[in-house]
Amino acid sequence: MRGMAVPAPICSLLGQPALPLLSAEGDINIGAVFGLHRNALFKVHSFTSRPEKTPCISFNPREFQFAQTLIFALEEINNSSDLLPGLSLGYQVYDSCSSATLGIHSALALMNSPGPEDSLGDPSACSRSPAVLGIVGESSSTSTIGISSLVGPFSIPVISHFATCACLSNRKKFPSFFRTIPSDFYQSRALAKLVKHFGWNWVGVVNSNNDYGNNGMATFMEAAWHEGVCVEYQESIHRTDSREKLLEVVKVIRRATARVVVLFLTLGDLIPLLNELALEGDPGLQWVGSESWITARLLADNKAYDFLRGAVGFAIRNARLDGLEGFLDKVHPSQTPENTLLREFWESVFQCSFEGGSSTLCTGTESLAKLKNQYTDVSELRISSKVYTAVYAIAHALHNLLTDLKNHTDSGNIPVYTSQQVLQYLKEVRFRVKTGEEIWFDANGDVVACYDLVNWQQDENGTLQFHAVGLYDSSMPPEQRITFNKRKLVWAGGQAEAPAGVCSESCPTGTRKAVQKGKPVCCYDCVPCAEGEISNITDSNGCYRCDLDYWSNEKRDRCVLKPVEFLSYEEMMGIVLVFFSLLGSGVTTLVAVVFSVHKDTPIVRANNSELSFLLLFSLTLCFLCSLTFIGRPSEWSCTLRHTAFGITFVLCISCVLGKTIVVLMAFSATLPASNIMKWFGPPQQRLSVLAFTLIQVLICALWLTVSPPFPYKNMKTYKEKVILECDVGSAIGFWAVLGYIGLLALLCFVLAFLARKLPDNFNEAKFITFSMLIFCAVWITFIPAYVSSPGKFTVAVEIFAILASSFGLLFCIFAPKCFIILLRPEQNTKKHMMGKTSNDIRY
């Protein structure tokens, strides 16, 4: 209604306010959230009354050490004259009970910062601005995601010391998040490279079923795929899973063929799994761990977990904080008697009770210095040092902010600062802590990833110790990021050699990998390379064909020059052919000598001694021309062998043809009134031989001019060797030479066949017919044999044809005459030669 005053809205707190378990007021306060208890006992609410505070159980001494390290760092800063001089830093430490829900509840409390004096109906409790300018925590990635999502829109910085999920690097979702521990983006990839480096390509993986495990394992799987590592199985577990679920996972681990297991688990999720594994004895596996448990002294001191000996994994680099050990030992419930957390801590570590009862009574005189547990152990301050660094990061950002504000504010005015300004200065902070580490944040709020490669080794007392055997530094080039001393490593079971972590054994050189059907690429068979292909590296995915002049060796791991094959003088076939070639020329020469000695006898004179000697000369050349076919082909030998063969054989056949015509003309001259011999006397005979031979010379000259023979590497007949042969160049020229020889031989054969029954005691036409029959049979057989014979046998067939036809001519024509000359001299008379014919014909 107009004119009436509208009452101011009244805000009231509902439920029980969350109060810090550890706190101290300062000029500037810093908030912190730690999982000081391992479990929260949630109840189902009836919604008919105010819910009671959720109780937490199972005190966590490790997280309590984190909280005390934060207090230690704050006191160290407060006592410093260089950092934030004149100002004191206070703290408010909340317990998330390792629950994301209670973690978010704690963040809400830090944003509203109600104090013990606040009443539920006090409106100022809702309107008060946050008293903390930054929050340190939480250890769990899941809880940190919830906290960062909540406070991010209000620009309150959150710096985690242990939340490694790569998802937190998303600046759009988490604009105010920072961390002093490296992101799993690097750890997951480093683990994949480590697995590959040790030659393991067949592994099993188990991860926590939360943001830390699922995101970290997803990154590992992607990196492993790029590295060629196959995963046989992937199992996810959570500490709240039933025992049946854990037993199923244990069964998978034990029955699998993978002997290397990557455990990307939080410590709380790993312990139930290890308990089940320990019940059945050492599984004999090689363990690869993430940074959350690989340096957990709680596991190393438990004898039931001795099967973890030889485990390897990346851990946050160790650090030493001078003065922290004494500070931790001084914690005592008497410092704040009303603080129930300190009393619970004391009762937990000393297993006593201030209330008495059935438990041992706590006297307060117990000494932490004599105690050895997760809280007092300062040998592994890998995570605690990150809490220390987170506190210093906020302090340095505040120092830089206040320094700038003082420089830009009048001396009479009090500087005003907000969490938004602290957030901005955190993005630009750069400092070096007393551990020697230089701290600065990139655009995603991450620090440079640097890990120790830790190996679990058993000392003389049988206690498992953590040995740093290597280093991973993301600031180095990719190929230099991982360095380690392999000789210092001890593997599963105390072995000095790395266990085999493969589905299939490595394929040696000379083989290639063939993936087994229905299995991952890491499971394969080793298939030998085919002929002419090689693989000169192990585990080759394929074989590579050798160049044309090369062929694979017997092991298929190297290309060697193909052997060059040709008919040589050194091999047995070449020696035999040379022998018969020289034998033929020798016998021909011997026949010529016999004819020369008996040149005046009727049988020599009756067969035209001039043509006979020319025939013997051409036969000698025929035998000798076969030698040009033997030996390494060259330009001159290829040219010589075919032209010499063609011309000498035409000369030979021309002489035989001349003798055949002489026989026909001689018997025709015996007819009355025949004067035919004057037209085919010695001059005409010489002219015919010259004319027939000249035609072949012209054919050869034309052949050599158009496309002469040349040496050629034949790589088609045999793949594994090179056949060095003479290519005929022009096929027409080659077959023209052979065709002309065949034409003359056929003509000679026909004429001799016609003259075979002419009357005479010594009719030479019979022997010429038989010699031409052999000649034609040899060369007709030669054609298919020449075409089908491979390599050097082609040349051998040609030589055989030359020698066979030459021997046929030699023996068929001259053997009967030599027989008469040498063994039947009484038949070598004119009377015997003429028989019934009275004409003294000289032919």
**Residue 609: what pLDDT?**
74
Contact 801, 771 (CB under 8 A): no
Contact 91, 71 (CB under 8 A): yes
Intra-chain end-to-end CA distance of the chain, in Å: 161
Q: Which helix (H) or strand (E) holds 232?
A: strand 230-237
**Residue 837: what pLDDT?**
40
**Residue 822: what pLDDT?**
83
Contact 792, 830 (CB under 8 A): no
**Residue 326: what pLDDT?**
93
**Residue 9: what pLDDT?**
46
Q: How far apart are CA 389 and CA 731, in angstroms?
A: 90
Question: Does the model's pTM come out above 0.75?
Answer: no
**Residue 120: what pLDDT?**
43
Contact 529, 689 (CB under 8 A): no
Residues of the chain where predicted confidence (pLDDT) is lower than 70: 1-17, 113-130, 357-358, 409-415, 606-608, 663, 665-681, 755-765, 830-843
Q: Residue 30, SS3?
A: strand
Q: How far apart are CA 146 and CA 33, in angstroms?
A: 12
The full DSSP string for 773-815 is HHHHHHHHHHHHHHHH--THHHHHHHHHHHHHHHHHHHHHHHH
**Residue 315: what pLDDT?**
93
Q: How far apart are CA 755 and CA 762, in angstroms?
A: 12
Write the CB contacts of 269 (distance below 8 Å, at least 6 apart in sequence). 208, 209, 210, 213, 237, 238, 239
Q: CA-based angle 344:159:142, to the nearest 5?
A: 70
